[in-house]
Amino acid sequence: MIKNKDDYYDLIKYRIPVNINMELFYNKELMQKYFFYNESIYNEKSSNIAVYTKTPVNIKNKWYDINVINVIAPALDSYEQIDYKNIFNKYGYNNKITNENIYKNMIEKCFIKIKKCLKKFKILVIHGFGLGTFSLLCNELNINSKKVFEECFIKYFGKSKKKIYLNNLNFIKIYNDNIVNINKNIYDIIVKSNNLDNILFVNAWDPYSLVGNGNNMDDSLDGYLGRISAMSILCWSITNPFIKYI
């Protein structure tokens, strides 16, 4: 567990350019030369963080400003991932607790941050963070990632009075008229929105890397948003010293 605020500062500062399936597509020597470190400090004791920013995005040579909260779901796409080891070896947990409950605890932390951030907005557009590549080893750990995601969503947003769009999350059962299932390209949602100031988008971030991760190399939501936005520099304390910590 995080013991002091300096750990939060370090988690947002010591981030690497790219990490895709634990492959590091950057030059460590140059990273050390220009930034005085070359590896992420994320480990089994690290806390869960999220970063909100308003960022310009460019879609087909037109500019838009969008609000994004970047959350970090458990990364379970490789045996080398700290999150996999954290669950498999139950670091900091009682051995009697199930893998799925550990996973759920980690996912809930993301939903708590999203809910707090949403207070400033009227509409939420949410994608299945953690349900793509990051869920590859869930079955091996006896984790039903979709079930956990649905349970957490219902717990924190099931009775929401704000408009919520679930994008490509048709497995979630809806009993609230304010919540709507959609299946749209993220670019189309941005371009066709009437008032982007009122909308909060949720992005699925990586534990180690800058927001956007590999950008064009990354086919995840993070990569798609990263390649059209300024989030990589806005969400990094080295290039944005004005980040506020909560």
Task: Please write the tens of the pLDDT for every residue from 94-123.
Answer: 888 999 999 999 999 999 999 999 999 999
- For 31-40, the pLDDT digits (tens) are 999 999 999 8
Model confidence at 3: pLDDT above 60: no
In this structure, is residue 240 part of a structural domain?
Answer: no
- For 139-181, the pLDDT digits (tens) are 999 999 999 999 999 999 999 999 999 999 999 999 899 999 9
In this structure, is residue 107 part of a structural domain?
Answer: yes
Q: What are phi and psi of 97, to 5 degrees?
A: -75, 140
- The pLDDT, as a whole number, for residue 1 is 46
Mean pLDDT score of the chain:
91
Could you tell me how many helices (H) and strands (E) the chain has, helices first? Answer: 8, 6
DSSP string, 96-157: TS-HHHHHHHHHHHHHHHHHHHHTT-SEEEE--TTSSGGGTTTGGGT--HHHHHHHHHHHHH
In this structure, is residue 112 part of a structural domain?
Answer: yes
Structural domain total, the chain: 1
In this structure, is residue 241 part of a structural domain?
Answer: no
In this structure, is residue 246 part of a structural domain?
Answer: no
Q: What are phi and psi of 31, to 5 degrees?
A: -60, -45
Domain that holds residue 120: 5-234
In this structure, is residue 239 part of a structural domain?
Answer: no
Contact between 211 and 203 (Cβ < 8 Å): yes
In this structure, is residue 244 part of a structural domain?
Answer: no
In this structure, is residue 229 part of a structural domain?
Answer: yes
